[in-house]
Amino acid sequence: MSDNYSNDNREYGYYEDYENIEFNHVDRQKKTRKKKNYLLRFLALAGVFAAIGLFLSSSIFDVKTIEVEGNSYYSDSQVINISGAVTGGNIIWGTGSGTIKERLREDPYFTEVKVKRKLPDTLIIQVQERTQIAAVIYGDKYIVIDPTGIVLRKGDVDPKITLIKGLKISKMDVGEHIGVEKEQILETTLDMLSVMQEGDLYFKKIDVSKVTIKAYIFDTLLVKGTPKQMKKTIKSGELQKVVNMFIKNNMKRGTLNLGDNGYMSFSPTF
């Protein structure tokens, strides 16, 4: 039966002569065309990138202007000098932004630094600065600190900010927290100074050598009380009213004593 079935298949043409079909030849032609197409596409894409690279490397994209944003203590020129940023380099890949950030972050005044590009030729340095809130007196030196106690700088010249007297300093490395014998007193005083700034009030000097602190409005006009009493009267706005009255009436001598529950008494003696 199988022989008859095979003969029938031959009769009706079920067997074909595969040797006459050029499958391999057709496949080779397709592969060759694909390789040529990929090569042309690659060369075209490489040419586009090369043209873009040449364009971006042209003098059109040379840095001509450097701007500074977010600074208050340092001037624009000082920030640029500290950063080492210069004009002339290519704004795309020749700005040295990494070096600029590194140099600025070495200065304790800066907490955050960003370098941005404004095409075609402007480099923008964005900074965030720590705020100097007071200077701790150490002999004839002034240790300038921020609201958290970070030492920003040391100097011989009065920085014209609130001076803190009466603290015994054990450490004063720039860029690190100041070390004092009684840390709780410093922390409380800095908290009071932050409230003072928010309340638009300024003390020339604060003596924290005793439990009752002395906050000097002028050299011979002062406020006496605990940090807690100071904070409360500042937050209520009552202390500002009294101080403004002193200034308005040109009163530059006397002592304002603070008590609990907002109590205040004034003595013309110093």
Per the structure block, which two tokens stand in for 191? 């908290």
**What is residue 153's predicted lDDT score, i.e. its pLDDT?**
97
Whole-angstrom Cα distance, residue 22 to residue 55?
51
Angle at alpha carbon of residue 203, lines to 198 and 204, rounded to 5°: 140
Give Cα separations from 39 to 27, 35, 52, 101 (angstroms). 19, 6, 20, 43
pLDDT values of the chain reduced to their tens digit, one per residue, 270 residues: 445 544 554 444 444 454 554 545 545 555 555 556 777 777 778 777 777 666 666 778 889 999 999 999 999 999 999 999 999 988 887 788 999 999 999 999 999 999 999 999 999 999 999 999 999 999 999 999 999 999 999 999 999 999 999 999 999 999 999 999 989 889 999 999 999 888 888 999 999 999 899 999 999 999 999 988 998 999 899 999 999 999 899 999 999 999 988 899 999 987
SS3 string, 161-197, reads CCEEECCCEEECCCCCECEECCHHHHHHHHHHHHHHH
For residues 232 and 207, the answer to whether their CB atoms sit within 8 Å is: no
**What is residue 61's predicted lDDT score, i.e. its pLDDT?**
82
**What is residue 262's predicted lDDT score, i.e. its pLDDT?**
83
Distance of CA 258 to the CA centre of its chain: 39
